[in-house]
C-alpha cells in the first residue's frame, strides 16, 4: 500500500487541511479572507495560501480590475474621439456655410449637408443646428457669420457603474466672411489698363471676374497704383512695368490670379428689378436760351421721364434736383456742366434701345448719389449715381459708355453698368474718395487719369469687397 503524501502546515496555520483543495476553492477562500489578510504585515502569503497560490490569486483578482479599467479607458477614449470628430464636422460646416453666405446662397442647408457628409447626419443620436446669423456669442446677429452646433449621445457599457445617463459630446463653431480688401473697380468680364493711362487706386483693389484666359491685362505704358490686382482669370503684366502700390515704387501690389470664387457684385440685386419709368416729360429741356426759348437750366424728376437724347454742350449747364431720373431709350451726352446732388440716373426702355452715357473730357460739374436708396425694395441702390439696365441687349462697341470727365468733373457713389463696355480714355480726369465702378468690360487707355477710392463710401454707398472666410469662434 502506497504511503499517503501529507503537506506540512505553514507557520500559524495548523488548522489547514492535509490535502490541497482545488484551485477554484482556494481562490474563493482567498477572496473571502482578503480584507483581513491585507491588514497583516508583509511578507505574504498570509491566510493559509502558499507563495504560488497567493500570487495566482492576486494576479487573478488584479487582472479583473485591470480589464475593467482598460474597458473604461477604451470607452472614454471613444467619447473623446467622437468629440474631436464633432468639432471637425462643426468647423467644416461653419466654413462652408459662411462661404455660401458670402456668395449670396442660403447658408443653413449647406451647413446641415456638410455636417452629414462628415459623419453626423441629423436625427437619431445626433442633434445638429445651424444659425445664420448666429444667436449666441460675440458674433450674434452678424449677417456674414454662421453658427453650427453638433451634439451626439454616446453609448455606455462599463460606465453604467458610474453614470446614470449616457454622456453627450457637443461641439460649436462660428465662421464669418470678413473683409480683407475693398474693391473700387470690378469688371464682370475683362479689365484692361493700357496706353499712357494712370489709374490711382492705392487704397483699394482692382478686380475682374472673367474666366481664364480673360482677366486683367496691364499693357503699354500704363501707370497703375493699387493695393492689389485680383481675378478669377489670368493677370497679364500685373507684376511688372509701372505697377506698384504707391509712387515710391518699392512694393508690388498683391496679385491673385485664378481665384476660385468671383467677387460678389454688390449691386446684383438690381438684376431682379424691372424699371417702370413714368410718362415722358412734356416740357422740352432747352439749354440754349435762344429766340423763342424760355430756357430751362434746371429739371426735376417729377416732370417725367427723359425720352429724347439729352446733350449738354460745352457752354451749357444743367442742374438736376434730387431724385430718381429715368432715361427711356435716350442717351446722355455731356460736354458742358452737369450738377446733381442726391440723384440716381437710370437708363432703361426697350431692351434693344436702352440709351448710353457719354461724359466727355471737357465736361465739368458733380454728380452725387443719394444717401438712401431711391428704388423701393433695393437697399443696394443707396449712393447709386448711374445705372444702365441689366436687360439691355444693345451693348458692345456701338453703345459704349464713356467716362472721360475733365479735371473738375466728379462722380461720387456707385456706377453700375453690368452689360456695358466702359471706356475711359483721352484726357479723362475723373474720380473722388467714393467712386465704385462695376461694369462688364472696363478699358482705360490714352492719357486717362482716373482716381478710384471707396474710403469715403462707408455708410453711404455699397462697393465690392474681398472677403476671407475664417473660424472666429
Q: How confident is the model at residue 172 (pLDDT cuts 50, 70, 90)?
A: very high
CA angle 432, 436, 437 (to 5 degrees): 115
Output the CA–CA distances (angstroms, integers) from residue 409 to 167, 338, 363, 364, 374, in the order listed.
69, 9, 6, 4, 23
- For residue 3, pLDDT beyond 90: no
- pLDDT score, position 197: 85
Dihedral-angle region of residue 39 (phi above 0 means left; psi in -120 to 50 means alpha; beta otherwise): alpha
At 81, is the secondary structure helix, strand, or coil? Answer: helix
Mean pLDDT to the nearest integer, 334-350: 95
Greater model confidence, 409 or 15: 409
Higher pLDDT, 122 or 347: 347
Q: Where are the domains of the chain?
A: 65-166, 180-280+297-471
Q: How confident is the model at residue 173 (pLDDT cuts 50, 70, 90)?
A: very high
- pLDDT of 14 reads 45
Which triple of cell numbers denotes residue 238? 500685373
Whether omega before 45 lies within 30 degrees of 0, making that bond cis, reads yes
- pLDDT tens by residue, 420-438: 999 887 666 676 788 889 9
Q: Which of 348, 270, 271 is nearest to 305 (CA)?
A: 348
pLDDT reported for residue 26 = 61
- Split at pLDDT 50, 70, 90, the class of 51 is low
Sign of CA dihedral 72, 73, 78, 80: positive
pTM of the model: 0.71
Q: What percent of the chain has pLDDT over 90?
A: 46
Please give the residue that has the higher pLDDT: either 27 or 448.
448
Q: Do β-strands 343-348 and 384-388 pair in parallel, antiparallel, or remain unpaired?
A: parallel
CA gap 67, 61 in Å, rounded: 10
**What are the pLDDT digits (tens) for 106-116?**
999 999 999 99
Share of the chain residues as helix, strand and coil, in percent rounded to the nearest 5: 20, 35, 45
Q: Maximum Cα–Cα distance for the chain, whole Å?
A: 159
Residue with cell 470678413: 178
Centre a 10 Å sphere on the Cβ of residue 339 and count the other Cβ atoms it contains.
17
For residue 292, what pLDDT is reported? 43
Dump pLDDT digits (tens) for 4-22. 555 555 554 444 444 555 5
**How far does Cα 107 stand from its chain's mean position?**
11
Q: If we measure between CA atoms, which residue out of 284, 286, 350, 277 comes closest to residue 318?
A: 286
Distances (CA, A) of 250 to 182, 206, 243, 245, 451: 22, 19, 10, 8, 21
What pLDDT, on the 0 to 100 scale, is given for residue 181? 81
Amino acid at each position: 500500500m502506497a504511503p499517503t503524501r501529507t503537506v506540512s502546515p505553514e507557520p500559524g496555520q495548523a488548522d489547514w487541511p492535509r490535502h490541497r483543495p482545488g484551485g477554484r476553492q482556494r481562490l474563493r477562500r482567498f477572496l473571502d479572507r482578503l480584507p483581513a489578510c491585507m491588514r497583516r504585515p508583509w511578507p505574504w502569503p498570509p491566510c493559509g495560501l502558499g507563495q504560488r497560490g497567493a500570487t495566482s490569486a492576486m494576479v487573478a483578482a488584479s487582472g479583473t480590475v485591470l480589464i475593467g479599467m482598460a474597458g473604461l479607458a477604451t470607452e472614454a477614449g471613444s467619447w473623446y474621439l467622437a468629440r474631436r470628430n464633432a468639432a471637425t464636422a462643426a468647423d467644416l460646416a461653419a466654413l462652408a456655410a459662411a462661404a455660401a453666405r458670402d456668395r449670396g446662397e442660403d447658408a443653413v442647408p449647406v451647413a446641415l449637408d456638410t455636417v452629414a457628409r462628415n459623419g453626423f447626419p441629423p436625427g437619431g443620436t445626433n442633434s445638429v443646428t445651424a444659425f445664420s446669423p448666429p444667436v449666441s456669442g460675440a458674433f450674434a446677429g452678424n449677417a456674414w457669420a454662421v453658427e453650427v452646433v453638433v451634439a451626439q449621445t454616446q453609448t455606455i457599457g462599463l460606465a453604467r457603474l458610474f453614470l446614470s445617463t449616457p454622456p453627450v459630446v457637443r461641439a460649436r463653431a462660428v465662421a464669418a466672411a470678413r473683409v480683407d480688401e475693398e474693391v473700387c473697380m470690378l469688371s464682370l468680364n475683362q479689365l484692361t489698363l493700357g496706353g499712357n493711362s494712370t489709374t490711382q487706386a492705392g487704397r483699394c483693389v482692382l478686380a475682374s471676374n472673367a474666366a481664364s484666359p480673360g482677366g486683367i491685362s496691364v499693357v503699354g505704358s500704363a501707370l497703375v497704383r493699387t493695393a492689389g490686382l485680383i481675378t478669377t482669370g489670368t493677370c497679364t503684366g500685373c507684376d511688372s512695368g509701372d505697377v506698384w502700390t504707391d509712387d515710391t515704387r518699392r512694393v508690388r501690389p498683391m496679385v491673385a490670379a485664378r481665384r476660385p470664387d468671383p467677387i460678389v457684385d454688390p449691386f446684383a440685386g438690381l438684376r431682379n428689378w424691372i424699371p417702370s419709368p413714368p410718362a415722358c416729360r412734356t416740357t422740352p429741356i432747352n439749354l440754349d436760351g435762344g429766340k423763342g426759348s424760355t430756357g430751362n437750366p434746371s429739371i426735376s424728376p417729377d416732370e417725367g421721364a427723359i425720352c429724347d437724347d439729352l446733350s449738354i454742350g460745352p457752354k451749357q449747364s444743367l442742374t438736376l434736383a434730387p431724385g430718381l431720373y429715368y432715361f427711356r431709350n435716350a442717351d446722355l451726352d455731356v460736354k458742358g456742366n452737369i450738377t446733381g446732388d442726391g440723384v440716381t440716373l437710370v437708363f432703361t426702355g426697350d431692351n434693344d434701345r436702352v440709351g448710353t452715357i457719354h461724359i466727355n473730357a471737357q465736361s465739368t460739374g458733380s454728380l452725387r448719389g443719394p444717401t438712401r436708396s431711391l428704388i423701393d425694395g433695393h437697399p443696394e441702390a443707396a449712393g447709386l449715381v448711374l445705372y444702365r439696365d441689366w436687360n439691355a441687349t444693345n451693348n458692345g462697341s456701338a453703345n459704349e459708355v464713356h467716362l472721360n470727365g475733365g479735371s473738375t468733373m466728379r462722380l461720387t457713389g456707385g456706377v453700375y453698368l453690368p452689360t456695358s463696355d466702359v471706356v475711359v480714355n483721352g484726357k479723362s480726369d475723373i474720380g473722388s474718395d467714393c467712386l465704385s465702378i462695376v461694369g462688364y468690360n472696363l478699358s482705360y487707355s490714352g492719357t486717362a487719369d482716373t482716381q478710384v477710392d471707396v474710403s469715403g463710401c462707408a455708410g453711404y454707398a455699397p462697393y465690392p469687397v474681398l472677403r476671407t472666410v475664417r473660424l472666429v469662434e
